[in-house]
Amino acid sequence: MSLEVRIGGRNRRVDLRRDGDRYRGRVGKRSVEAEVTERGPYSLLIRLGKRTFDVTFDEAGTTLLLDLGSRQVAVEIMDPLKGAAEGTGIGMGRGRREVRASMPGKVVAVKVKVGDEVDKGQGLIILEAMKMENEVASPCQGKVVELEVTPGQTVETGSLLAAVE
């Protein structure tokens, strides 16, 4: 099984075969033989050579967040047909792009109106959580076609904030 995997912002070719709890094959140029033991809902042990790695993991959309101990990495397995993973925080519809909250928080300011022309990266909304303010930026250049929030409102992760077309 040969796959393209995105790890730490770079693409890597992986060629691994499974046999029971063992995996054999290649990661990049390295030849790999590993044994996997599952331990509960968030933890794996991976034995590679002389070392055993305690890997804890979490999911965010199609991205896997792995804690390897000395490092944390985000890993995404690429869709072999589209060449890109799906399901980011931003709506993928053609033309109209949805802006969703990437964290829960309180809307402290809305910096644009429906109908405003905005640039990619321009601040649309300011969200506050844990005594910190964070600007939510426009994912693209276009016109603000929807504004779903008003200052003072509380939003959850994934709440629709605005749409830009």
Partner 1 sequence: MPAQRIRVRKSSRPPYRKVLIANRGEIAARVIRTCRRMGITSVAICSEADRGALHARIADEARLVGPAPSAQSYLNLEAILAAARQSGADAIHPGYGFLSENPEFAEACRRAGLVFIGPGPASMRKLGNKIQARRRMATAGVPVVPGLEKKGLQEKQVRDWARKAGYPILLKAAAGGGGRGMRIVRQSEEIGPALATARSEARTAFGDDTIFVERYLEPSRHIEVQVLVDSQGNGIALGERECSLQRRHQKLVEETPSPVVTEVTRRKLERWALSACRAAGYTNAGTVEFIRDAEGRFYFLEINARLQVEHPVTEMVMGIDLVEAQIRIAAGEPLSMPRKGLRPRGWALECRIQAEDSENRFRPSPGRIRLYRPPEGPRIRVDSGVAEGDEVSLFYDSLLAKLIVWGRDRESAIRTMAGSLAEFRILGVATTLPFHRRVMADGEFQRGEIDTGYVERLLNREPPELDDELEAVAMVAALHLRQRGERPLTSGSSSSGAWTLSGRHGQQMRGGFRNPWGQS
Between residues 93 and 104, which has the closer beta carbon with respect to partner 1?
A: 104
DSSP 139: S
CB 165 within 8 A of CB 97: yes
The only residue of 90, 91, 96, 103 in contact with partner 1, by rule CB under 8 A? 103
Q: Per CB under 8 A, does 152 bind partner 1?
A: no
CA distance 141 to 120: 4
Binding status of residue 16 toward partner 1 by CB under 8 A:
yes
Question: Distance of CA 48 to CAs 26, 31, 109, Å?
Answer: 13, 11, 50
Contact 111, 83 (CB under 8 A): no
Q: Please tell me whether residue 151 binds partner 1 under the rule CB under 8 A.
A: no
Of the candidate residues 11, 58, 114, 121, the single one contacting partner 1 (CB under 8 A): 58
CA distance to 24, 28, 60, 77, 85, per residue, from 15 (Å): 8, 8, 24, 13, 19
Output the smallest distance, CB 22 to partner 1, in A.
10
Q: Which residues bind partner 1 (CB under 8 A)?
A: 1, 3, 5, 7-8, 12, 14, 16-21, 23, 27-28, 30, 32, 34, 36, 38, 42-44, 46, 48-49, 51, 53-58, 62, 64, 66-75, 77-82, 85-86, 102-106, 129-132, 134, 157
